[in-house]
Amino acid sequence: MTYAAGRIYSEVAYVAYHFHWSLDEILDLEHGERLRYVAEIASINTRISQGR
């Protein structure tokens, strides 16, 4: 299975922006683990934007 390069860049940028992790640290994550961090960050951002 291939994974679109644009999607990887988006995920890496999203996690790096919020957690300040290096490119190598983020790329060392398994795909599913990286997606989990993306989902958790999105959840945090949603709660913050809703004032919870």
What pLDDT band is residue 12 in, cutting at 50, 70 and 90?
A: very high
Contact 16, 23 (CB under 8 A): yes
pLDDT at 28: 96
Question: What is the mean pLDDT of the segment spanning 4-15?
Answer: 92
pTM comes to 0.82
Q: Give percent of the chain above pLDDT 70.
A: 96
* Angstrom distance (rounded) from CA 1 to CA 9: 17
